[in-house]
Structure 1
Amino acid sequence: MTAPTPRTAAEAFLLCLKQAGVDHFFANPGTDFAPLIEGYAHGALQGWDLPRPIPCAHETVAMGMAYGVTMVTGKPQAVMLHTNVGLANGIMGLLNACSDQVPMLLFSGRTPLTEAGRDGRRDAGIHWGQEMRDQAGMVREATKWDYDARYGDQIPALLDRALAIAESAPQGPVYLSLAREVLGEAWPEGQPLPRRRLSAATLTRPAASAVEQAADNLANAKRPLILCQRSGTDAAAWQALVGLAEAFALPVGEHWSIRPSFPTNHPMHAGFAPSAAVAAADAILVIDSMVPWIPAHTDLADDCRVIQLGADPLVSKIPVRGYPSDLSLAGDVALTLADLHAALADRLAPNSAAVVARRETLTAAHAKARQAVMAIAESGGGSPMHPFYATLCINRAFGPEATYVSELALNPAAVDIQRPGQYLSHAMSGGLGWGVPAGMGVQLAKPGEAVVACVGDGSHMFANPVAAHQIAEALDLPLLICVFNNGIWNAVRRAALNMYPDGDASKANVMPLTSLRPSPDFAAIAKASRAHGEQVLDGQDLPAALERAKAAMKAGQPALLDIAVRLP
């Protein structure tokens, strides 16, 4: 087959994206997109293989969908937004991607640079109103790299560099702005598209001496602890961690887990609220965790040794982060855990008296904790129902084969998490509206598989549900959205209670600035885009409603359940 011959820089841009392995082009278009729209139309006539163009009626949905695809495929996707105004709307999603080290290729147009004489020049009033001296300044702190393309023929090299930087550890988003004149430039006649010449920098393993020191600390500890947060989509890291914990009876706790990294039914799992274990520990291995515990709520023992492991164990982008790190191991998590396992085996026998006793103690504690969670969940029916009960019903309906995306809704303690990537949660940055778009991205990347996105009612409002449902229908994405509706901004309420536990707000019938009443009819909004929608007010009705939603999904229809829950 003859290699495609682009006519413009815009066409070269689209061809290079696909050449680099980018499958989707999520776009919230504007007047700056004219060369790209022409390029897609011409490419279709020529039979070119280009990234799938996905028009998104809101930037939050575009950013969240790209994030969701990348979480489950590992492949960065492209998002392009409209000049400065679209970019501003997408910044919240960018902050989430930056916080969670998600590689993403973010582009935006720039208002045309010229007033006359060039293809792509200004021809609408907004082209003066949208001009900025430093448009990239809006996103610079949340990206690994940014640039403003000056010439059309430099775009392939810029893409090559952008992608290599985005995929180098620690990964993250990059940004390139593209003025309309640049995209509309004629591609040099007869000039082939250059092949990629840059590869991402890969992580290896820490020095053997550092691993030996970590093994000494863990082997000599009487109360060792492992803390994880976001390595749960790495299958090799998951397996290495399970093997390490099993062999040496090392408890694994997960505070505010973004991507759970350990099976919840495993006797070495120490739960999702490990504050007591943190306070008691004399050695802690922190794996890829920005916030392994809350210092204001938990004091470490004076003799506790802390080891931090990850691509960037000190989380260098965060200005203030005072977690101790007596030993910092920068490296690939799976490779480092394998080395640590081997080093521990030289120091600690799996059948030693200390390990056997610890294993028995942890097994009993795990069983007791699971029973307590299940007791709350099983007894949590009624109207409104306990969120643990709703979580349990959803988990029983879909099982471990489904992928669960949760934003302030599902409690992972009540989910039977058995495999890497089964449960995905929101970034520490907390930009709301992530859950439903991310779930849509996961469904786009995993057609034919069950995807359940569970969100709080406030989170769903932030997701721009009208736009989200329209796109889900357009793309035939049969995911289930479960809205955990408690009618309140609960994270804000908790923050006020944490700071002023005996304050006047704690005694108010309705705490100021926290109410989300009256609640919208979320099911009706879903039905407006031909989705299956129901409101579930009583816990006894939830199992049957879930079965009806499953039937709709199997028929190719998106579904939404608006579930009335009480405060836990």
Structure 2
Amino acid sequence: MYTASTAFLEALTEAGVSYIFANFGSDHPALIEAIAEARAHGRRIPAIITCPNEMAGMSAAQGYAQVSGQPQAVIVHVECGTQSLAGAVHNAAKGRAPMLVFAGASPFTQEGEMRGSRNEFIQWIQDVPDQRSIVRGYMKYENEFRTGKNIKQMVHRALQFAMSEPKGPVYLVGAREVMEEELTDAVSIDMARWRPVEPAALPQEGVEQMLAAFAQARRPLVVTSYLGRNPDAVAELVRFCENVGAGVHESVPSAMNFPHDHDLYLGNQWNEPHQNEALGEADCILVIDSDVPWIPTISRPAGGVPIFHIDVDPLKEKMPLWYIGAEHSFRADAATALGQLNDVLAVRPFDGARVAERRSRFAAKSKARRERLATLETGSNGVITPEFLTAAVRRHIDDDTIVLNEGITNYPAVSNHMAMTRPGSIFASGGGSLGWNGGAAFGAKLAAPDKTVVALTGDGSYMFSIPSSVHWMAAKYGAPFLQVVYNNRGWKAPRFSALGVHPDGYASRANDLDLSFDPSPDYAGIAKAAGGAYARKVERPEEVEEAVAEALRVVREEKRSAVLDVWLQHG
């Protein structure tokens, strides 16, 4: 029997989808039958990953896409499962992670008129007026299957949207009757006709305007946040900065955008409440692939500085309030645009002496920065600091390691002290909904089974990640990773936010702001109970080095996940 669900699975397979992260429900009998039928006949379909929690499943799809660049599929149960995707929808949208989310819908017949007609009470309760509206504001494309006859075209159109810049998630819905529909003929698809839109380039006048401004500058600066999502763009950025003698500043980085050991790397800024020196001194700025290049109330460029802006989404069309005062803004792919600039510089190089002077000045600042950071890694007074812990993790990883950063108030410590140098070696969610790191680490391991995956997380974001589901999945599917919990026993970020707005208010004098996690849960024990992970609490600095080494040995040799619950100073 060839059904709409058979066609759906075939379409995913044609598109190169390797995994379906599934949380099945009463709306999926046709899919469950089609999966069983394909297995019975030895027909290739994507591997099914059972996800006890929808957010963990979608986070896994995001982690897979971030590491591999390839979209995967997520299947959830009607509007309930769609809502249970929760913050993972936000993270995938803001992190521009391509994936296809499919949800069933309550049957639209109730007297047995069609196969799949209503036969359970829940199908009346789960029939809502506009299921697609739940995620409409976050999806690049959303639609409903109305017949099985064009399901393949619908899937490939959706994935075209997902994979065309700016990339992102797409959402499809199909009721039981539609997914049960029997088809007489299979649709033949030529995948060459369903490719994503080609990357956009700079106009030639834009190339000339930018190079003319950079040629005259004394302190040119590039600001980026997520250029490294495309590893090819990193090499082009390094080449450009070396060609013109420009420094690089990262604002809220969610990828490895520029090698931290390079003399032109000037550091990164998150929510630190001070003016960034490099940004304040710059006399010509290129903002490329950044949603928040600076926070104007805290740190911003000097007035009158020419700002050029390159992004696949320069208008930030999903952000109601956004502007940076760029005098020239271009919709272009970062790797393509930088390649254009570098091609011109190859035949019309800048003045060598001027470039050397810029590079020398930035190199001195870069070296001084690295020396300052080194002094923070020694620990003090028997307290495990984030810098000390992160440096210990750094010493035990290798070039085959992928790091995920959801450190929240420790984002800067992780970025600065992991000091990654390879494209594709470190990621953050790119969004603001906590709990991405666990599922993402599982998905990253599926995408790169030969690499070691390390997730660095705050205690709050660990709780949000549904570790019981995540570590069960990791054990069941043989995808182990190390998770290090930066445990300060509470939500530190809300405290910082409150004091940032009310530095001398009542909150600044209160002993309890209802943000504490005391008594602390047994974070590592949760993972041990759910998935047999190696579990260990670390409370003293002298334990850290050996604990990290042993945890990574377990992950690499025993092929078992590990969780280190590391106690920092109380938040």
TM-score (norm 1): 0.95
Equivalent residue of 2:546, what SS? helix
> What is the aligned residue count?
558
| Deviations 1:24-51 (CA, angstroms, capped at 9, x unpaired) | 1001111111111111111111001101
Residue 402 in structure 1 maps to residue 371 in structure 2: no
The aligned residue for residue 417 of structure 1 is: 420
The aligned residue for residue 115 of structure 1 is: 110
Q: Distance in 2 between matches of 1:551 and 1:303?
A: 54
Residue 184 in structure 1 maps to residue 180 in structure 2: yes
Deviation at 1:111, TM superposition (A): 1.1
Q: Which amino acid aligns with 2:178?
A: V
Q: Which amino acid aligns with 1:297?
A: I
Deviation larger for 233-242 or 338-347: 338-347
Deviation larger for 214-223 or 74-83: 214-223
Q: Distance in 2 between matches of 1:462 and 1:358?
A: 45
8 A Cα contact 2:234 2:257, kept in partner: yes
Q: Distance in 1 between matches of 2:218 and 2:433?
A: 40
The aligned residue for residue 330 of structure 1 is: 331
Deviation at 1:541, TM superposition (A): 0.3
Deviation at 1:487, TM superposition (A): 0.8
The aligned residue for residue 3 of structure 1 is: none
| Deviations 1:6-25 (CA, angstroms, capped at 9, x unpaired) | 52111111111111111110
8 A Cα contact 2:152 2:187, kept in partner: no
Q: Which amino acid aligns with 1:263?
A: P
Residue 532 in structure 1 maps to residue 534 in structure 2: yes
Residue 340 in structure 1 maps to residue 336 in structure 2: no
Gaps of 5+ in 1: 1-5
Residue 24 in structure 1 maps to residue 19 in structure 2: yes
The aligned residue for residue 382 of structure 1 is: 382
Residue 174 in structure 1 maps to residue 173 in structure 2: no
1:559 to 559, 562, 567: 562
The aligned residue for residue 76 of structure 1 is: 71
User: Residue 155 and residue 533 in structure 1: after superposition, are their counterparts in 2 closer, same or farther (change >3 A)?
Assistant: same
User: Residue 122 and residue 249 in structure 1: after superposition, are their counterparts in 2 closer, same or farther (change >3 A)?
Assistant: same
Q: Distance in 1 between matches of 2:214 and 2:315?
A: 20
Deviation at 1:357, TM superposition (A): 2.0
Q: Distance in 2 between matches of 1:275 and 1:480?
A: 33
| Deviations 1:404-441 (CA, angstroms, capped at 9, x unpaired) | 001024521111311101110122x3111001111111
Equivalent residue of 1:278, what SS? helix
User: Residue 199 and residue 448 in structure 1: after superposition, are their counterparts in 2 closer, same or farther (change >3 A)?
Assistant: closer
2:473 to 463, 471, 474: 471
Q: Distance in 2 between matches of 1:44 and 1:477?
A: 23
| Deviations 1:156-208 (CA, angstroms, capped at 9, x unpaired) | 111011011111111111111011111111122x4444444322111131111
Q: Which amino acid aligns with 1:367?
A: K
In angstroms, what is the RMSD of aligned CA positions? 1.6
The aligned residue for residue 552 of structure 2 is: 550
Q: Distance in 2 between matches of 1:421 and 1:99?
A: 18
User: Residue 245 and residue 350 in structure 1: after superposition, are their counterparts in 2 closer, same or farther (change >3 A)?
Assistant: farther
Residue 249 in structure 1 maps to residue 231 in structure 2: no
8 A Cα contact 2:214 2:244, kept in partner: no
2:144 to 142, 148, 151: 148
Deviation at 1:247, TM superposition (A): 2.5
Matched residues, percent identical? 34
Deviation at 1:381, TM superposition (A): 7.3
The aligned residue for residue 95 of structure 1 is: 90
Q: Which amino acid aligns with 1:281?
A: A
Q: Distance in 2 between matches of 1:381 and 1:219?
A: 50
Q: Where does 1:214-233 land on structure 2 (aligned, <5 Å)? A: 214-233=210-229
The aligned residue for residue 490 of structure 2 is: 488
Deviation at 1:380, TM superposition (A): 4.7
Q: Distance in 2 between matches of 1:556 and 1:300?
A: 48
2:456 to 440, 448, 454: 454
Deviation at 1:398, TM superposition (A): 0.9
Q: Distance in 1 between matches of 2:239 and 2:451?
A: 28
Q: Distance in 2 between matches of 1:382 and 1:322?
A: 46
The aligned residue for residue 212 of structure 1 is: 208
Q: Distance in 2 between matches of 1:299 and 1:96?
A: 26
Deviation larger for 127-136 or 307-316: 307-316
| Deviations 1:341-398 (CA, angstroms, capped at 9, x unpaired) | 344566653621x322221211111111111111111235733x11011110001011
Deviation at 1:96, TM superposition (A): 0.9
Q: Distance in 2 between matches of 1:381 and 1:436?
A: 32
Equivalent residue of 1:560, what SS? strand
The aligned residue for residue 261 of structure 1 is: 257
The aligned residue for residue 303 of structure 1 is: 304
The aligned residue for residue 62 of structure 2 is: 67
TM-score (norm 2): 0.95
Residue 370 in structure 1 maps to residue 370 in structure 2: yes
Q: Distance in 2 between matches of 1:121 and 1:520?
A: 46
The aligned residue for residue 514 of structure 1 is: 515
| Deviations 1:482-534 (CA, angstroms, capped at 9, x unpaired) | 11110121111111111111222122223x13212221101111111211110
Deviation larger for 197-206 or 144-153: 197-206
Q: Which amino acid aligns with 1:419?
A: R
8 A Cα contact 1:381 1:538, kept in partner: no
Deviation larger for 65-74 or 151-160: 151-160
Equivalent residue of 1:253, what SS? strand
8 A Cα contact 2:71 2:98, kept in partner: yes
Residue 436 in structure 1 maps to residue 438 in structure 2: yes
